[in-house]
A and B are shown apart, each in its own frame.
Chain A
Amino acid sequence: MNTKRYAELFRAESRERLAEMNTSLLALERGEGGERVAELFRAVHTVKGMAAAMGYADVRDLSHSLEALLDQLRRGALDVTPQIIETLFDSVDTLESAIVAVSQPNPDPVDVLRAIELLEGAAAAAVESPGTNPTMEWPVMRDAQATNATAKLASEARSSTHRLRAAVTVAPLNQAMSAAEKHHRFVRVDAARLDTLMNLIGELVIARGRLQEVARKAGNPAMSEAVLQASRLIGSLQTEITTARMVLVGQAFERFERMVRDTAQSLGKQVSFEILGSEIEVDKSVLDEIGDPVMHLLRNSLDHGVESPSERRAGGKPIVAKLTLSASRERSSVVVRVSDDGRGIDVARVLERARANGLVEDECGNLSDSEILALIARPGFSTKSKVSDISGRGVGLDVVATKVRSLGGSVELSTDAGAGTEIRLELPMTLAIIHALLARSEDEIYALPITHVVETLVLEPDMVRFEDDREVLLVRGVTIPAVRLRDRVGHPRCPRTRGHAVVLDLPDGRVSLLVDEFIGQQEVVVKNFDAARGMPHLFNGATILTNGSPALILDAQGIL
């Protein structure tokens, strides 16, 4: 048996089942019954079966105890009480740790026994109903005896049909689901394979560009016709593969339900959490990257935004706070919003802190939402005097802002004192293809993602000046620090001060980049790129231009 392959399958599938368990548990907690218990039971049962096959005793035993308790819930021998739900959450957590532990060489010890005892304690509270308890007494059959045993079982079954009915409450039919699933057949594909396809399609798009150029020059109508047809097909292929990589936002957001619930509980706050737009589809690459930022934002809301029940009561607000995570499509972007109806951001305190750090002038009396964001998104800025273990030292927002910008997105904040805060992230639909400005330095071409670009300028002789020994660019009376691309990529300085400049809006302020020339704007396919060790971080990828030559993609933050 190919153990490694099975271990891989076990890991992947048990992770999925754990996610299902959490979803079902949350639904159960909201008061949904019936089918939720059955779902939970199936998920646990599957994990048990796999663990038994792999010989993972801890996982097997714990899921067995979980299953036994769920079976009693399913049969109505036990009621779903808050304590039971807590026990279930707790043991699902332990199960997760146990599952993680089996795939690690030196795992932290997991106290499976404690969880099993808890579960057994809860199960013992059930009203004993003899004869309907299909648990561990089933002996492991020797197959030589199996046929006899089968016959015996069959006759036994005939004599005790009432008993069977009690036990067979398996999975009531879900008609709606089955109708829907008939039209959608899915195959499981390794995500890496889709990435490879995306990469190949990128190459194909580049090759298409070259082919078109050649065909244009050749001036052969039949060839042009064929190239045109191939081009269209390649375009459709690109769309299809991009779509195939799309995943439902809900898949990534599901896990936050549990996190929000646990965090709110540990902070003693009451929150109703809503996820909107789960059905929106986004490129997998984007979704993989925004998980952590969104988690930061939710934690920030719970920790700083949402008030304690007593504070809410005093303020005349409903005791249960609202926290919403939503996703929507806007033009060619995905917009993710995290909003709460908490206390909002205290502008006076932001100002006070900003003054203390010398970030604003003393006489500055008020701040716009975007100014607040610019301040609180600075590394290390926090208005919270005490460090909590929930959202840390205020590193939340600057990390979020930096991450989102590095993905080519933007962050906006709106806050209303006493009424709540909303943070809006706008993200590209895909990270695989980006818009870039092509800049020339000497005879090399570099691609600069247009995310941070504010404007491009033609340099006039007196625009570049020295101020405190540093070069600055004078744009309409404002000086902006200037960086020369030539210096950064190791080209000798050009004696002339001619050329082009681009103004970039970065988290730390505006900066300008001086280049020999901008030669255009184009969509480029990003290929990930591992810089040689010790190299300064100037690039975050590479691409192939339509003329077939390679170009490095500049990392604006790294280069400046």
Chain B
Amino acid sequence: MNNTVLVCDDAVFMRTMIGDILTQAGLEVVGEADSGAQAVEKYKSLKPDLVTMDIIMPEMGGIEAVREITKFDPQARVLMCSAMGQQALVAEAIQAGAKDFVVKPFQPSRVLEAVQRVLG
């Protein structure tokens, strides 16, 4: 069975791109969320194997969402997607329970390595 993924980003562009990279690697994108609040809600209903999480999102930021998701499922595997210049935020996200991170702009190979590590 393919691993399932929930892709969280407020930009359709980014969701499409991440979705494409992961789908080509054989993962199954089972859901998308465009805000932190939606990410938490969808995690609860979809229980995906992996979540990719943007940091800056409206309504509830990615870090807060990681915290909520980890509270609900301590085993949750969340991969943070950060932009350059967000080291402090990445650190906070990892404290909040994220397993690893990738830096935008994405290179498919790097994203996949990170995914392997997280699912490992």
User: Which residues of chain A in 406-426 are interfacial with respect to chain B, using CB atoms and an 8 Å cutoff?
Assistant: none
B103 partner, pick from A10, A141, A158, A178, beta carbons under 8 A? A141
Min CB–CB distance A64 → chain B (angstroms): 8
Binary per-residue interface labels of chain B (66-86) against chain A in the complex, 1 for a CB within 8 Å, 0 otherwise? 000000000000000001111
Q: Does A53 contact B (CB under 8 A)?
A: yes
Is the Cβ of A49 less than 8 Å from the Cβ of B14?
A: yes
A150 and B58 in contact, given A46-B10, A52-B105 (Cβ under 8 angstroms): no
- CB neighbours (8 Å) of A174 from chain B are 58-59
Chain B, interface residues (CB within 8 Å), range? 35 or more
A154 & B91 in contact (Cβ 8 Å cutoff): yes
Contact of B58 among A13, A42, A136, A163 (CB under 8 A): A42
Complex CA gap A46/B11 in Å reads 7
CB-CB nearest in chain A for B54: A49
Contact of B91 among A2, A42, A146, A153 (CB under 8 A): A153
Q: Cα distance A46–B55 when bound, in Å?
A: 11
Checking A5, A52, A134, A173 against B86 with a beta-carbon cut-off of 8 angstroms, the contacting residue is A134
Contacts known (A146-B100, A173-B59, A173-B60); A42 close to B87, Cβ less than 8 A: no
The docked-state distance in angstroms from the alpha carbon of A135 to that of B85 is 5
Q: Which chain B residue has the least Cβ–Cβ distance from A154?
A: B94
* Cβ-defined contact, A156 with B91, below 8 A: yes
The answer to whether the Cβ of A164 comes within 8 Å of any Cβ in the partner chain is yes
Which size bracket describes the interface of A in this complex?
35 or more
List residues of B (23-78) whose CB comes within 8 Å of A's CBs. 35, 37, 55-61, 63
A125 at the interface (CB under 8 A from B): no
A153 to B92, CA, bound (A): 9
Inter-chain CA distance A466–B27, complex, in Å, is 81
**Complex interface bits, B91-116 against A, C-beta within 8 A gives 1, otherwise 0:** 11011000011111110101001100
Which of A53, A141, A164 interacts with B17 by CB under 8 Å? A53
B-side contacts of A135, CB under 8 Å: 85
CB-nearest residue of chain A to B80: A150
Task: List residues of chain B with CB within 8 A of the CB of A49.
Answer: 11, 13-14, 83, 104-105
Q: Please give, as numbers and ranges, the residues of chain B lying within 8 Å of A147 by CB-CB distance.
A: 100, 117
Minimum CB distance partner of A151 in chain B = B94
Q: Is the CB of A50 within 8 A of B13?
A: yes
For A168, give its contact among B57, B88, B105 (CB under 8 Å).
Answer: B88
Question: Is A108 positioned at the interface, with any CB of B under 8 Å from its CB?
Answer: no
Question: Closest approach, in angstroms, between the C-beta of A291 and any C-beta of chain B?
Answer: 24
Q: A residues within 8 A CB of B55?
A: 170
User: Within 8 Å CB of A156, what residues of B?
Assistant: 91
**What's the minimum C-beta distance from A332 to chain B, rounded to whole angstroms?**
35
Residues of B within 8 A of A153 (CB): 87, 90-91, 94
Which residues of chain B come closer than 8 Å to A42, judged between CB atoms?
A: 10, 56-58
Separation of A227 and B35 alpha carbons in the complex (Å): 47
Whether A177 touches B89, Cβ cut-off 8 Å, given contacts A6-B17, A143-B110, is: no
12 CB contacts below 8 A, A to B, read A42-B56, A42-B57, A52-B104, A138-B85, A138-B103, A140-B103, A153-B90, A154-B94, A156-B91, A157-B88, A164-B91, A168-B63
Closest 5 pairs between A and B when the two form their complex, measured CB to CB: A157-B91, A170-B61, A52-B105, A153-B91, A53-B105
Q: Given A1-B17, A64-B85, A170-B56, list of 17 further CB < 8 A pairs?
A: A41-B56, A49-B105, A53-B17, A55-B105, A134-B85, A134-B86, A137-B85, A138-B84, A138-B85, A140-B103, A147-B117, A150-B100, A157-B95, A174-B58, A174-B59, A177-B58, A188-B12
